[in-house]
Amino acid sequence: MESQEYSHALSLIAWMKESRLESLHLRMGSLILDLKRQGRDQGESRRPGKIRSVLVANRGEIAVRVIRACRELGIEAIAAVSEADRESLPAKMADRVLCIGPAQAKKSYLDIPTVVQAALGAGASAVHPGYGFLAERPDFADACAKQGLIFIGPRPLHIRQMGDKLFAREMASSLDIPVIPGSRLVRNLQEAAQFAEKTGYPLLLKAAAGGGGRGMKILQGPEELQCLFNEASAEAGAAFGDDRLYVERYVPNARHIEVQVLGDSHGNIIHLFERDCSLQRRYQKVLEESPSTVLSPDQRQAVCEAALLIARRIRYESAGTVEFILDQDSGRFYFLEMNTRIQVEHPVTEMVTGLDLIKEQIRIAGGEPLGYSQADITTRGHAIECRINAESPENQFAPSPGRITKWQTPDAPLVRVDSHCYAGYVVPPFYDSLLAKIIVHGKDRREAIERMQTALSHFRIAGVETTIPLHRRILTDEAYRAGKINTGWLEKVFLQNG
C-alpha cells in the first residue's frame, strides 16, 4: 500500500470513529476499504421493529439511496416503477419490482390509490416517498395510515401545517422568530397593489400552498404587478391545486440557509447544523455546501435554535428542513419555510456529521428513539454537493434525454456519487433531469473545492449533455471561491458574464 493511500485510510478510519456511520465502503486506487462498526448486530436484528419491507414510491437516485439503506438494515426493498423505469437501476437493485403504470407521472408515481394498492398487494409494511412526487402530500400520508401502512416521513398534520406557508409564517412569528415583512393572504390584484403601495418595491409574490419556485415572481415595480400576479396565481393553481398568493419584501443580497432537523415519536428533536444553498437558478438549487461560510458563531447558534423552536412547537417527527434567508446587508436572518421531507442535498449533512439520514428516517418511522442527544452532534470539515443534470447550459439548459453511452464516475477518497445511471441507461424525457449528485468532503472549504474540481474532471459521461462543465466553471470563479455570492448571483452575474 502506498503511503498516501495508507494516510487516507487512517484519516477515514478516524473520521468514521468520530462519526455515527455504521459501515463504510470506498475504493482508493489499489486499496479497498470495507469497515463495519462493532457493537451493533447485523441483518434482521438491526431492522426497526415494525418495518419488515418498504415500498419505495419514487425513482432515480433517491430510490437507489433508499434501497441501499433498507438493504443495510435487513429490510426488504420493493421498487415501484413506471413503464419507463423498468430497466432503471432501482429496478435492478430492489428485492422485488412492481410496475405501477405508464411513464406519465400522473398515472404512476403521482397516483395515490395505485401506489397504496401496490404497497398493500406487495405486503409492504411501510412506504418511503423519497422527495418530490408524493413526499409532501398529506393526503398520501393519510391514505397510507388508513390502510395500516407506515409512512416513512412526518405525520400528515405536520405536512399539512408546514405546507401552508402562511400558517408557517404566523407560527414562526408567534415564536418571536423573524419573518420577512409580508402580507397575509392577498385575495385579488387590488389587495396586492395596496400592500405594494404601502411597502414599496421590490417585492416577491409567493404561493401560499407550496414552494420550489412555482408561483414565485419578483416584482420590480407597479407596472409588472397585473401580469405577474396572474402568472403566479395560474402557476400556483396548476402546481398545488391552490392559487392563493401572498406578498413579501424581496431581499436582493440574500443567502439561503437551511437547518436539518430530526425528531422522533418520543419527543426528542435535534438539529444537524446548516447547509448553504445560495447557488440557484430559477429558484432551483444547483450547488450546496456545509457549513455556511457567512454565518458567525452567534448567527449559527441563533438560526439552529430557531429551527428547533419551530420543530418542537409542532412536535415534529422524521427528517425535515427549516429554511431561512440571511440578509447579508443587515446581518439579519428570516424564517422562510419548512420542508417536511428528506432534501435532495441531504448528503452534505451526512458527510460533515457522519449520520445516515435515510436510515434515521426508517428507524424513527419504526418507533425507535434517536440514539443521541444534541450534545452528541458535531461537524467535521467541509462538504460540497454538485447536482449533475442532463441539460445543456449552452442551450438555455434545454433537457438532454437519450442513451448514456459512457458512464465513468470518479474513484477517489472522500468522493461520493449518488446516482441511478449506468452505461446503456436511457434517460427518459418524462421526469426531472437529475443524473447524479457528486459529494466531496475536505478538511476545509478550500480542500473541498479542490477535491470537487478533481472529481468533476474525472467524471466522464457521453451520449447526453450535462451540467458538469458549468460546475467546473463555477468552482474556478473568484467570486464563488471568495464566498461573495447571493441567491441571485448565478443567474444575474455568473451566467450573464459567461
Report the catalytic residues.
341
Residue of 184, 142, 144 lying closest to 54 (CA atoms): 144
Alpha-carbon gap, residue 330 to 253, rounded angstroms: 10
Residue of 199, 116, 198, 100 lying closest to 151 (CA atoms): 116
Alpha-carbon gap, residue 116 to 242, rounded angstroms: 24
**Which residues, including other chains, have CB under 8 Å from residue 69's CB and lie 6 or more apart?**
356, 358, 359, 362
Distances (CA, A) of 423 to 17, 116, 369, 407, 491: 35, 33, 41, 5, 32
Contact predicate 220/202, CB 8 Å: yes
Distances (CA, A) of 198 to 195, 225, 226, 249, 334: 5, 14, 17, 11, 21
Chain mean position to CA 372: 23
